[in-house]
Structure 1
């Protein structure tokens, strides 16, 4: 990503998280980035195009880290633990991005449908490990897709907890607690892996 697009990326995340999709304007994004409006329009034709850009770029950061884990020669439970760690660290590091994603998951507009499709693609990576763990008997048989969504959701819940908690929370404590809770929910003896 070039320097200008990186400025737009950071500015758009800030403006969308503060004003919501409807309240955000191209003027606000340009001003926050320290750019003239023409420069913004040179790179993006509309607010929706900027929104799609930040979602694509942000989720790609997360997806790339998960794909790296998928290529490591370890078992599916160890991969799920690493994915927990990656997702929670990402959500805490990009809190404003997370707020934008969560605020746009519901609805029938094109950007919302696209966002759900991208989240689904990410959850497919979780599914792979859950399915493999079931096949080798490390997780009790069940609805793989539902379990993958529940896994993803429990991690998102921890990020919501942190975002509304008044005093600062230790990320490592949250990660450890969430990993234990999530894996115990899958019937996994966490002590074998931590």
Structure 2
């Protein structure tokens, strides 16, 4: 199945932004990476900033969908869903390494653009925090633990593990990595091993 020109451009932009960062990525380089004519690029996206926003929004939406599916996985007992969410984060970053690089390692250098990314991530954090509050209500997570910190710790623990492995050229979604992260999560949340 062929992808639309807009998706082709989006994928090329993601690769370019992840490889060069925002400042060093040009519309010409995006057209080259996406293998589209500049006219086609400008037909779909008028500016690099519009394209940067589109790529980040699409990536964060995919992350939210992925994590939400793990949260709603009724095939797992409720006590194991948190571990499934952690595992889903790792799988997502493994399958979307360029987005992981873009999201976690590059700032655009512009306070407004960086605020835009933070705003997009606010939706992600609200989704995860809602899930963690529900687990607290059910007694799965200690009621004394602050949910915002837990959500940040989960994101940071998996995200920066993924980022380090990407930078080192190491496989990301391995049993060893999963076991280490799940073990940390179990210890922090007092889930039985």
User: Could you say which TM-score interval applies, normalised by the shorter chain?
Assistant: 0.7 to 0.9
What's the RMSD between the two structures over aligned residues? 2.2
Distance in 2 separating the partners of 1:130 and 1:106: 31
Report the more deviating stretch, 38-47 or 135-144.
135-144
Q: Work out whether residues 17 and 96 of structure 1, in 8 Å CA contact, stay in contact via their aligned partners in 2.
A: yes
Report the more deviating stretch, 38-47 or 134-143.
134-143
Report the more deviating stretch, 47-56 or 103-112.
103-112
Match of 2:191 in 1: 188
Match of 2:35 in 1: 34
Post-superposition offset of 1:40: 0.4
Instruction: List runs of 5+ in structure 1 lacking aligned partners.
Output: none
Distance in 2 separating the partners of 1:148 and 1:169: 21
State the TM-score, normalized to the length of structure 1: 0.86
Closer/same/farther in 2, CA of residues 120 and 77 from structure 1, 3 Å limit: farther
Match of 2:130 in 1: 128
Distance in 1 separating the partners of 2:38 and 2:101: 25
How many residue pairs were aligned? 190
Match of 1:14 in 2: 15
Distance in 2 separating the partners of 1:143 and 1:95: 30
Instruction: List runs of 5+ in structure 2 lacking aligned partners.
Output: none
Q: Work out whether residues 139 and 187 of structure 1, in 8 Å CA contact, stay in contact via their aligned partners in 2.
A: yes
Distance in 2 separating the partners of 1:46 and 1:152: 30
Distance in 2 separating the partners of 1:181 and 1:154: 9
- Taking the TM superposition and a 5 Å limit, the aligned residue runs for 1:1-194 are 3-73=4-74, 75-104=77-106, 109-140=111-142, 141-168=144-171, 171-189=174-192, 191=193
Q: Work out whether residues 105 and 115 of structure 1, in 8 Å CA contact, stay in contact via their aligned partners in 2.
A: no
